Amino acid sequence: MTVSKRQQTQTRLAYLLVLPATLLILAIYIIPILFVFLGSLTDYTLVSDYYEFVGFENYRQMFGDEVFANALNNTFFYALLFLPGAFIISLVLAIAIQEQKQFRSVLEVLYFLPVTSTLAAMALVWAALMDSGQGVINNTLQTFGLPRVNWFGNEDVVLYSLAIISLWSIIGFNMVLFLAGLTSIPKNLYEAAAMDGADHPVDKFFRVTWPMLGPTAMFVAVTSSITAFKLFDTVAILTQGGPDRASEVFLYLAFLEGFEYFNMGYSAALSLFFLGIIFLFALIQAFFSDRNVHY
């Protein structure tokens, strides 16, 4: 077989190998995305087959809609509660656990346990723990003389409750990421820093650990932000957006509009907005992942 002929059969084979994946990517990603965009310009509902193009009416409605503003508000407020905890608690835990000698692996397993569980199922356990009447948490609060809390029934509290559950489920994951980042910091850097006078834990953290942890920290921050914006499971199971829309977050609103009220056009506009946010986070990550390494 000549070289060029061999090249030809190889190219043909290459096309054959990528064909199934390519067709499926077209069917599952490309065409649906195009339809989401086109659909967002129509008033299509699943209920009637008649629809017409309405231009950017859906987007105008979106930005003038109180329900949308409320969902966005809720999402950002929830992220504000969730993100600092998801980042700082995990980092402190990772540093504390790394310094443990004999208990390190036990503690790692215990803190990682919630990550391995199915959040939808554990949400039910949290519902019982946070029950306003006979829940263990309220009973414990009462024993310490603190007031009982209506975790899911109070509009001002429900986002805190959801943030607590999400924190519980993500801390172990972020902690393991931070631990991986910490172990990859060369020991001799600490020795060199100690030579230069930075031998106190606080000094060591700000002079060595934090700068060397840059890429890991960025990764944790971005993935946690995306997780925060994707909050859905616990809302769907525990609150259904209630009470009085106080826990109606962005993704849950898009779900309601599309699959409960069948306002497909409007829901498509919401989906594209959601995609825009995700792209933004991905860009931030791509931008910083190359630049944030301080050696």
Please name the residue that has the structure tokens 């499926």.
24
Contact between residue 74 and residue 249 where contact means Cβ atoms under 8 Å apart = yes
Identity of the residue, 91 or 93, whose beta carbon is nearer to another protein in the bound complex: 93
158 touching another protein, by CB under 8 A: no
* Residues in region 14-53 near another protein by CB under 8 A: 14-15, 17-18, 20-22, 24-25, 28-33, 35-36, 39, 46
Q: Which is nearer to another protein, 159 or 249 (CB)?
A: 249
80-109 residues near another protein, rule: CB under 8 A: 93, 96-97, 99-100, 103, 107
| Contact with another protein (CB under 8 A) among 278, 291, 293, 294 | 278
Residue 155 within binding range of another protein, rule CB under 8 A: no
Number of residues that bind another protein (CB under 8 A): 96
Q: Which of 91, 127, 221, 228 binds another protein (CB under 8 A)?
A: 127
Residues in region 179-198 near another protein by CB under 8 A? 191, 194-198
Site string for another protein, 198-227 (x = CB under 8 A): xxxxxx-------------------x--xx
Q: Which is nearer to another protein, 285 or 292 (CB)?
A: 285
Distance CA 130, CA 139 (A): 10
- Cα 167 off chain centre by: 11
Q: Is the peptide bond before 20 cis (omega within 30 degrees of 0)?
A: no
Among 134, 147, 156, 290, binds another protein (CB under 8 A): 134
Q: What DSSP state is assigned to residue 146?
A: P
Interaction residues for another protein, span 244-273 (CB under 8 A) = 251, 254-255, 258-259, 264, 267-268, 271-272
Q: Which letter, b or e, does each residue of 109-133 get, where b requires 16 or more Cβ atoms within 10 Å of its Cβ?
A: eebeebbeeebeebbeebbebbbee
Cα separation, 35 vs 175, whole angstroms: 40
Nearer Cβ to another protein, position 30 or 293? Answer: 30
Both structure tokens of 135: 């829940």
- CA distance linking residue 163 with residue 289, whole number of Å: 27
Residue 10 in the binding site for another protein (CB under 8 A):
yes
CA 224 from chain centre, in angstroms, equals 5
DSSP three-state, residue 291: helix
Q: What is the DSSP string of 137-181?
A: HHHHHHHTTPPP--TTT-TTTHHHHHHHHHHHHHHHHHHHHHHHH
Choose which of 124, 180, 192, 293 interacts with another protein (CB under 8 A).
124
Rounded to the nearest angstrom, the gap between the alpha carbon of residue 273 and the centroid of all alpha carbons in its chain is: 16
In this chain, which stretch among 65-73, 130-138, 181-189, 213-221 interacts with another protein, using CB under 8 A?
A: 130-138
Write down the least CB distance from residue 66 to another protein, Å. Answer: 22
